[in-house]
Homo-oligomer: A and B are copies of this chain.
Amino acid sequence: MSKVRFHIATSLDGCVAGPNESPEEPLGQGGEALHEWAFELAAWREPHGRDGGEVNASTPVIEERQANVGAGIMGRNMFGPVGGGDWGDASWKGWWGDEPPYHHHVFVLTHHEREPLEMEGGTTFHFVTDGIESALDQARTAAGEADIQIHGGASVARQCLNAGVVDEFELDVAPLLLPGGVRLFDGIDPDLRIELARAVDAPGVTHLKYTVSR
């Protein structure tokens, strides 16, 4: 059975980005530190085309979340710099170079139409202008029996939670505070019911996995 799931790094005060997001600091001031625990991991480096790296308690967590993903969904602000407007000459192809680390169909929510963008390594970005339900329908078709991963950002993850379509999520809680940052759960549906599935104590991060019901 195909699941809809996401994972996201948060600060201890529940922020997924620091204050003052900008093209130079897409994760806001201090937000890059949310991901420090990941950068040295072999399990993170390999899909990002880098050699070497460590194996630790985070490794099986990363491997599990990378497995069995058939399609992805992402917000416009995760695909490109904050802002909006149309796609201009369509030269922007995401943050990830020629070979993004997804290797599946990714449905990007946007207000502006654009032709699908086929990248190296099996990632194709599709631009969806008719809302999150439509993106989910298309992702379901693309994924088949495999899972759908919400790649972010926080706003899309929250919309999916509030729409009742998320089956599980995992927070990578990093040991830092980002006061004034972007809070994952701002505006969350108070009737959402969550259950703790498991917690993993790893170097510099805690992985907290939850299942969702309503």
Residues of chain A whose beta carbon lies under 8 Å from any beta carbon of chain B:
12-14, 30, 171, 173, 175-180, 183-185, 187-190, 192, 194-196, 198-201, 204-206, 208, 210
Contacts of A205 in B (CB 8 A): 196
A87, B204: Cα distance in complex, Å: 46
Task: Decide if A179 touches B173 in the complex (CB within 8 Å).
Answer: no
A188, B12: Cα distance in complex, Å: 11
The smallest C-beta distance from A184 to any residue of chain B, in angstroms, reads 8
Known: A12-B194, A200-B201. 13 other contacts (CB 8 A): A12-B208, A12-B210, A14-B14, A14-B185, A30-B190, A175-B194, A175-B195, A175-B210, A176-B194, A177-B190, A179-B188, A198-B201, A206-B208
Contacts of A175 in B (CB 8 A): 194-196, 210
Contacts of A12 in B (CB 8 A): 14, 171, 185, 194, 208, 210
Contacts of A187 in B (CB 8 A): 179
Contacts of A204 in B (CB 8 A): 196
The smallest C-beta distance from A9 to any residue of chain B, in angstroms, reads 13
Contacts of A185 in B (CB 8 A): 12-14, 177, 179
